[in-house]
Chains A and B, each alone.
Chain A
Amino acid sequence: MKAVGNPATGGKISQTSDSDLIKKARTGDARAFTQLVQRYEQLVYGFSYKVCRDKDKAEETLQDTFVNVYRKLDQFNGESKFSTWLYSIVTNNCLMKRRKRKLDAEMVSFDEPPMSDNHEPLSIPAWTDSPISSLVNSELRARLDKAILKLPMEYRVVFMLRDVENQTAEEAAKILKLSVPAVKSRLRRARLFLRKGLNDLMVE
Chain B
Amino acid sequence: MVKKTKTVHRHHPLHCADVFSHICENLDADLDSPQCREIKRHIAGCPNCTALLDSLKKTVYLYRTLPIPTIPASSRRKLYSAISLETGRRVK
Do most interface residues of chain A lie in helix, strand or loop, or is the interface mixed? helix
Identify the 10 closest CB pairs spanning chains A and B, nearest first: A30-B87, A188-B24, A59-B75, A121-B16, A124-B51, A113-B20, A4-B84, A127-B55, A124-B48, A195-B59
Q: How many residues on chain A are close to B (CB under 8 Å)?
A: 63
Chain A nearest CB from B22 CB (Å) reads 10
Report the count of interface residues on B (CB-CB < 8 A): 55
User: Contacting A144 at CB < 8 Å: which of B15, B66, B77, B86?
Assistant: B66
A163 CB contacts on chain B under 8 angstroms: 27, 60, 63-64
Binding site for A on B (CB under 8 A): 1-8, 15-17, 20-21, 24-25, 27, 47-52, 54-56, 58-66, 68-73, 75-80, 82-84, 86-88, 90-92
The stretch among A13-21, A37-45, A76-84 that forms the contact with chain B is: A37-45
How many A-B residue contacts, CB cutoff 8 Å?
176
Q: Nearest B residue to A28 by beta-carbon distance?
A: B91
**Contact across chains for A1 and B66 when beta carbons are under 8 A apart:** no
* Bound-complex Cα distance A186 to B15 (A): 22
Known contacts A66-B82, A70-B87; A140 and B75 CB within 8 A of each other: no
Known: A42-B71, A123-B4, A124-B48. A136 touches B62 (CB 8 A): yes
Q: A63-B79, A114-B2, A122-B7 are in contact. List 15 more A-B contacts (CB 8 A).
A: A37-B80, A41-B79, A46-B68, A55-B72, A59-B71, A67-B83, A70-B86, A113-B24, A121-B6, A123-B7, A125-B1, A127-B51, A127-B58, A164-B64, A187-B25
A107 CB–B CB distance under 8 Å: no
Those of A111-125 within 8 Å (CB) of chain B: 112-116, 119-125
Across-interface contacts of A30 in B (CB, < 8 A): 83-84, 87-88, 91
A136 to B76, CA, bound (A): 28
Q: Is the CB of B3 within 8 A of A2?
A: no
Which one, B17, B24, B58, contacts A119 given CB within 8 A? B17
- Least distance between A1 CB and chain B CB atoms (Å): 5
Q: Shortest beta-carbon distance, B56 to chain A, in Å?
A: 5
| B83 surroundings in chain A (CB, below 8 A) | 4, 30, 33-34, 37, 66-67, 70
Instruction: Decide if A198 is an interface residue (CB 8 Å cutoff).
Output: yes
Closest B residue, CB atoms, query A115: B17
